[in-house]
Amino acid sequence: MQIRVIRSIEELEMRSSAWDGLLRLIDNTNPFFTLDWIRGWWRFFGKGRGMYILEFYDEAGTAGFLPLMTEKKRLCTEYKPLTFPQGSFAGFIVAPGCEEICVTRAVEHLRGIRQAIIRLENMQADSLCCRLLVEKLADAGVDALLTTIPSRIVRLDKTTKEQYFERIKRHRNVKEVIKSENALSQAVTLTFDPAAPEEVEQIFPLHEKRWSHKNDGNGFGKGVSRSFFSHMAEYQVPGLPTSFRVLVHLLKAGDSVIGFSYDIECNGHLTCYRIAHDDDYAIYRPGLIVVKKTMEKYFDLGCHTIDFSKGDERYKRYWAEETVDIASVTFVSGAFLPRICLAFKRLFACARRHMKKIEPIAHFKRVTLGKIKHFLTGQPVKAAFDRLRVRFRQRGASGVIEDLAAPFVRPFACVCLYAVKFSGDSLPPYKGFSLKTASLDEAIELCDQLMIKPDICSKRYKSGHVCRLLYSKKELIGSVWVTDKHITSGKRVLWKPARPSQRCFFDMQLFKRCGADRYEQAVLCLVSPSLTKKCPSFFLLNQLTNRKIAHIADRLFEKLGTPHLAEKTEEKKGKSA
């Protein structure tokens, strides 16, 4: 068995017939072995790297390939799998029956390279080639570092869709996902459909929004990686003569994309490559809703295996019950410098393995350090100034000062609950206003103007509260939240309906400056659609830090009927709902 080294994409193209023939022979289901993937990857990431593919051949023809590449490091040269790390799985491509001779020749060849670190990453640990590799290195007395990481899979050909979902619904977490999906569907129109070609670009800002606050991620949504994965998404068009398909699905709340899945299918084997969601909707667990919708879709597509890729994150354990190990074998050829590098890699691998087992340390590394890193970029400061600019346009300098002081004053401010019943058969007239009940996605888009955090907005909708928007000639001039559910602040209940017909309005905002009469009419317009003609009564919960609403309420309700201040309490802990 001879070895030929392929060092350029042009040489590889010349061997494409042998490569594709070998993939057909082994019934390949790994998309990262295909020439379509390698061509695209090399186009975007090949700069600064050298191709180093080992071809094993004899007089009968090509028996196998080991696709590698080289990277020059400060102390030595690293040999690692071609398309790593974007390619999730790698290893030998070998004809059946030739595994042992090809692995033996590969070990002999790689050990002969001078001053190099060889990293054979992302191989299936139970594959024959991986077992032979470990065995041959041990026989040769090579000091190799072997690490494994689990990968969760679901074999769809061994169960039916009904049996699978009946089984996983026993998990408490899956039940909560189903409840969250139902709640989100009630708050907004929820869809999960394939992305049109022009919609694919929407997934990258969403991914960056999700991971910018965390010390993690592989750069999927930015730079060269974004260009590469956008290019590979062109392989989702049905009927293209390609060796794999990229399947991009979008989870939409109304017209807003709140989650996506980027998957790669190859001969019935589907790799869930990337899943992300919008943290503004985190209370509804949109990421797990994407997983559930993905499983439903791919049962219908006829896939035989779904692979959740490397990693044993907690959510994968509920959806995929079978585990396979992905192995990485690292060894050196040379004397002093490569051995020092290997010693450090072994030390870091040991430290990383133990740190992952300690949840507080893993949380600190991913979340706390991620927030610090994000703050140092300056983006939070810029966003804060943008919000101040919006509030200044809406409420002027005095309104901005009130907003800035509210977090410090709120713990000592009074919370007033007005129980109001108008006298007379009808409400006073109001003109020139239009009222709209906002859906969840519309409310989140307007969070800066409504002066509320997006995650708080989502929690309110999930609790049964609804936001109303007040317009004057298509200009947003006010808002109010209305509910028939209880309102809490910390552990205290600020309002609770005595009967189902009761409504309470809270967190009322009026943005535009105008006369007192117009303010009173705006308040009436905000509350009137919920009032019955027979009994036009309601409750208004207001915090006295919002002095404008407090003055208008005192004056208006005294003028129109018999206002009654039901409760006046001091809020010592927590924030108003």
Mark residue 568 as left, alpha or beta (left: phi above 0; alpha: psi -120 to 50; beta: remaining). Answer: beta
CATH fold of 2-142 reads Aminopeptidase (3.40.630)
On the question of pLDDT at 321 being above 90, the answer is no
pLDDT in tens, 5-48: 999 999 999 999 999 999 999 999 999 999 999 999 999 999 88
Query: What pLDDT is stored for residue 11 in this prediction?
Result: 93
Q: Cite the residue boundaries of each domain of the chain with CATH code 3.40.630.30.
A: 2-142, 154-325, 394-570
Phi/psi of residue 422, nearest 5 degrees: -75, 150
What per-residue confidence (pLDDT) applies to 572?
39
- Which one, of 208, 203, 209, 206, lies nearest residue 218 by Cα? 208
Residue 528, pLDDT above cutoff 70 = no
Query: Is residue 379 scored above 80 in pLDDT?
Result: no
Q: Which of 56-65, 352-361, 418-427, 492-501 has the lowest mean pLDDT?
A: 418-427
CA atoms of 333 and 135, how far apart (whole Å) = 17
35 contacts 12 by C-beta, under 8 angstroms? yes
Percent of the chain, pLDDT > 90?
A: 32
Query: What is the pLDDT at residue 525?
Result: 74
Rounded mean pLDDT, 294-323: 85
* C-alpha–C-alpha distance, residues 66 and 103, integer Å: 9
The pLDDT, as a whole number, for residue 566 is 47
Output the six-digit token pair for 119. Answer: 């990293």
Angle at 118 between CA 114 and CA 120, to 5 degrees: 155
Rounded to an integer, the average pLDDT of 412-432 is 59
* Band of pLDDT at residue 570, cut at 50, 70 and 90: very low
pLDDT score of 196 more than 80: yes
Rounded Cα gap, residues 258 and 576, in angstroms: 27
Q: What is the pLDDT of residue 452?
A: 84
Model pLDDT, residue 574? 40
Report the percent of the chain where pLDDT is more than 70.
79
Tell me: domain 154-325, CATH 3.10.580.10, correct?
no
Give pLDDT, residue 576: 38
> Highest mean pLDDT range out of 198-207, 414-423, 479-488?
198-207
- Read off the pLDDT of residues 158-173 as tens digits, 9 standing for 90 and up: 888 888 888 888 888 8
User: For the residues of 382-441, what is the DSSP string, one character each?
Assistant: HHHHHHHHHHHHHHHHHHHHHHHHHHHHGGGSEEEEEEEEB-SSSPPP--S-EEEEPPHH
What CATH superfamily is the domain 394-570?
Answer: Gcn5-related N-acetyltransferase (GNAT) (3.40.630.30)
Could you list the beta-strand ranges (E) of 254-375: 256-266, 269-277, 305-310, 322-333
Residues 219-230: tens digit of each pLDDT: 787 889 999 999
Is the bond leading into 85 cis (omega within 30 degrees of zero)? yes
Question: Could you report the per-residue pLDDT of 107-142, keeping only the tens digit for each?
Answer: 999 988 887 888 898 999 999 999 999 999 988 888
The pLDDT of residue 545 is 53
Strand (E) positions, 311-365?
A: 322-333
Q: At what angle do helices 128-139 and 99-111 cross, to 10 degrees?
A: 50
Residue 413 pLDDT more than 60?
no
